[in-house]
Amino acid sequence: MKTTAPTICHGTEVNERTQCAHYHSEHDIIAIKFKCCSAFYACIECHREAADHDPMVWPKSEFNQEAIYCGSCRGTLSITEYLSCQNTCPMCHAEFNPGCANHYHLYFEQ
């Protein structure tokens, strides 16, 4: 995990914390780099609306990739770090939405 400069996060009505028109609770503060295009989107619905291709899931063999962006501290986490962080950013301790686990299959190989 590392802290980065602000990352461009694509999507519909995305704010500086990566909240979008689809997911905007105080805990919806991550963006995901999509395997298919190496671009960060606030959610899969944002990707579906803006990208001209189908999304791809990250294979387990690439879970070491920094593909999660915290909209609170602007740090990046590997997929492994994100999946094991228990919905709390290990850098700034912001709480992530635990409901995102219901959508992991859309982003990460199961």
Helix H, strand E, coil C: the string for 9-76 is EECCCCCCCCCCCCCCCCCCCEEEECCCCCCEECCHHHHHHHCCCCCCCECHHHCCCEEEEECCCCEE
Contact call for residues 63 and 85 (beta carbons, < 8 A): no
pLDDT of 7 reads: 75
């606030």: which residue's tokens?
Answer: 42
Break the chain into its structural domains and give their ranges: 2-107
pLDDT per residue over 29-48, tens digit each? 999 999 999 999 999 999 99
pLDDT of 2 reads: 64
Percent of residues, the chain, with pLDDT higher than 70: 95
pLDDT at 66 over 70: yes
Mean pLDDT for all residues in the chain: 94
Global pTM reads 0.92
Q: How many CB atoms lie within 10 A of CB 59?
A: 12
